[in-house]
């Protein structure tokens, strides 16, 4: 029964992807080193320089808490590393390469997504994804997890609705589903996610499977959970 109240008066939930549906460092920590090495043509000094700009530790294969990668778009990342790259490729070329590589990157689910999402749908909730990733790699990740069909709406930074912390993607979810923002929760792991949710008039829920700590998210969230696995319990409170 799409749109029925599924707990706490909610009718819908919009999820961020990286750091929310998927554990951020577990998914992207090792992958990013390979991406930087490919872009640098194997030049270790260039890898180090790009890693510093992105807030990434190549040795630990982890991102710093202040990394711009956690909430920025592929285009913004390309703007940062582009001036360092051999041959000065265009922004479109860099984004295209990043999207192609990231689309096939193995994703580490923050919780077993199939049963988790089916449980929410069983409560009558309509689900969506709003990510600052590109729409094509985001869709590829959800399809690889076998859960793309659980979502009534998917928007990436390049889908025409803007990107977080702006509320455009979340407003588009409401327009597509006919839901009222106050009856929708935005679940995410970064301040960008929660600021977007607040700007859209949604309930905001933080999770700790990204880079932010509870103290970073608590001022912007109704609740901060360890991961999405805790969401059903919170809905029942």
Question: pLDDT tens across 107-127, in order?
Answer: 999 999 999 999 999 999 999
| Pair of tokens at residue 59 | 């040795």
- Cα(180)–Cα(185) distance, integer angstroms: 11
pLDDT of amino acid 1: 28
Express each pLDDT in 161-170 by its tens digit: 999 999 999 9
Per-residue pLDDT band for 175 (boundaries 50, 70, 90) equals: very high
**In the CATH scheme, what is the code of domain 12-23+109-236?**
3.40.50.1000
Per-residue burial over 46-64, b if 16 or more Cβ lie within 10 Å, else e, is: bbeebbeebbbebeeebbb
pLDDT of amino acid 42: 85
What residue ranges of the chain are covered by domains with CATH 3.40.50.1000? Answer: 12-23+109-236
pLDDT of amino acid 124: 95
- Cα(198)–Cα(181) distance, integer angstroms: 10
Per-residue pLDDT band for 2 (boundaries 50, 70, 90) equals: very low
Among positive and negative, which fits the CA dihedral 202, 206, 213, 49? Answer: negative
pLDDT of amino acid 4: 54
φ, ψ dihedrals at 172, nearest 5°: -65, -35
pLDDT of amino acid 32: 92
Q: Go through the chain and tell me how many residues it has.
A: 237
pTM of the model: 0.90
Span 28-37, average pLDDT: 92
pLDDT of amino acid 3: 41
* Element at 193 (helix H, strand E): helix 191-200
Lowest mean pLDDT of 39-43, 139-143, 194-198, name the range. Answer: 39-43
pLDDT of amino acid 237: 85
32, 61 contact by CB (below 8 A): yes
pLDDT of amino acid 68: 85
pLDDT of amino acid 113: 98
Express each pLDDT in 199-237 by its tens digit: 999 999 999 999 999 999 999 999 999 999 999 999 998
pLDDT of amino acid 7: 74
């Amino acid at each position: 029964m799409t749109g029925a109240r599924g707990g706490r008066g909610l009718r819908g939930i919009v999820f961020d992807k990286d750091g929310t549906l998927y554990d951020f460092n577990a998914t992207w920590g090792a992958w990013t080193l390979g991406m930087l090495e490919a872009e640098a043509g194997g030049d270790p000094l260039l890898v180090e320089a790009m890693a510093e700009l992105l807030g990434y530790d190549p040795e630990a294969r982890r991102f710093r808490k202040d990394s711009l990668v956690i909430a920025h778009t592929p285009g913004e990342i390309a703007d940062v590393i582009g001036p360092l790259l051999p041959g000065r490729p265009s922004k479109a070329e860099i984004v295209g390469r990043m999207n192609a590589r990231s689309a096939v990157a193995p994703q580490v689910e923050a919780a077993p997504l199939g049963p988790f999402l089916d449980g929410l749908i069983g409560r009558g909730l309509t689900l969506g994804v709003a990510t600052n990733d590109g729409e094509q790699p985001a869709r590829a990740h959800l399809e690889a997890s076998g859960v793309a069909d659980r979502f009534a709406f998917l928007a990436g930074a390049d889908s025409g609705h803007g990107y977080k912390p702006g509320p455009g993607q979340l407003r588009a979810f409401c327009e597509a589903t006919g839901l009222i923002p106050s009856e929708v929760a935005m679940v995410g792991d970064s301040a960008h996610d929660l600021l977007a949710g607040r700007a859209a008039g949604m309930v905001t829920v933080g999770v700790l499977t990204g880079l932010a700590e509870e103290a970073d998210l608590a001022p912007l969230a109704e609740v901060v959970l360890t991961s999405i696995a805790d969401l059903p319990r919170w809905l029942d409170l």
